[in-house]
Amino acid sequence: MSIDTVHALNFVHRQEEHNRKSKIIDEENQISSIIKLNIVGPKKYNLGNLRKFIQKLNDQILKENEKLMEAKKIAKDEQEQMHERYLKQEIKNIQLDHPFQKYNIITMTNVQPLLIRHGQRLDNIEGISSDCKKQLESKKDFLLSNISDQDLPLSEMSGQEVPLTKHGFEQAKELGEWFKSIPIDQIYSSPFQRTVATANGILERRNDGIYLHIEPGLTEFYKPCQQKIEYLNQNDPYKLFKFSNSNYSSVYNKRLLELGIMGRPSLTPEELEMNAIQWLSKHFVIF
């Protein structure tokens, strides 16, 4: 942190203190009192050059605010465009041959899928205690759909099932507020508490009858020698997350996943990552 930045922070701090104590804002008295306290910086700071310094700082803040307002305007325009597409009925419902689920076929020219990362997870906090780490490592209560006893797989790695932090839940609620006026046709989630909780945060702000589909196939699967696949017993996540669709039938099952994993070419982690990024960038808007 530069000397000027430290001086600026000290000045703002003293300015706030002055405003709390004084009912009438007197800029001349305010700056003079701060200089007398010798808080702002070296003695070379007098009333004149301190004014210039604060004015320069204020100009920088105004420029950043202008950029922020422009970004917000762009986001608002995009939101209104999506809403207009919904009103024009550019989303077309088509009933497929499926026992439980009604799918929506959406052309890429009309509506684009959105890929959203979950909120802050507990193991991403710096300085997390070793006791908490041990507790997470021993955690085995994976979150699955109600048909998991019909051969739905999930990784045995306990490190995958890490819950959201308090801030992570707040992020999910903020995301729900942002998406509140944007039409959503379907929403899917990986079978983990952090992802389901994030998706529920979005749905809690809505009242349009949309429910979450927990899809066990939306997980990371590598070669069998790198990751052991476990077939878990039936579980009931729907009491924890009320917006989960208990009638959803998984798209992927044990046989499809195993065939897909065994048939993959041998690529390095870097090549796999690059392929994933290229595919996602082409098909999704990523949040």
Q: Is residue 76 part of a domain?
A: no
Same domain, residue pair 166 and 209: yes
Q: Is residue 270 part of a domain?
A: yes
The reply to whether 105 and 223 lie within a common domain is yes
Q: Identify whether residues 17 and 55 lie together within a single domain.
A: yes
Check residue 205 and give its pLDDT.
Answer: 80
Q: List pLDDT tens digits, range 171-230.
A: 888 888 888 888 888 888 887 778 888 888 888 888 778 888 887 777 765 554 444 444
Q: Are residues 266 and 155 in the same domain?
A: yes
Asked if residue 141 is part of any domain, the answer here is yes
Higher pLDDT, 278 or 16: 278
* More reliable by pLDDT, 231 or 178: 178
Dump pLDDT digits (tens) for 126-145: 445 444 555 445 544 443 33
pTM of the model: 0.45
The answer on 104 and 59 residing in a single domain is: no
138: domain range? 93-286
188 with 65, same domain?
A: no
pLDDT digits (tens, 9 = 90+) for 21-68: 665 555 556 556 555 544 444 445 555 666 676 677 667 777 777 777
My answer on whether 13 and 154 are in the same domain is no
Kindly state whether residue 77 falls inside one of the protein's structural domains. no
**Residue 82: Cβ within 10 Å count:** 18
Do residues 45 and 99 share a domain? no
> Is pLDDT at 122 greater than 50 in this prediction?
yes
- 86 within some domain: no
CATH of the domain at 263: 3.40.50
Looking at the structure, do residues 56 and 116 belong to the same domain, yes or no? no
Residue 51 and residue 112 in one domain: no
Please tell me whether residues 116 and 258 are part of one structural domain: yes
Does residue 75 lie within any of the structural domains?
no
Let me know if residue 85 belongs to a domain: no
Q: In the chain, how many domains are there? A: 2
Task: Tell me, yes or no, whether 122 and 254 share the same domain.
Answer: yes
Has residue 258 got a pLDDT over 50?
yes
In a domain, 244, yes or no: yes
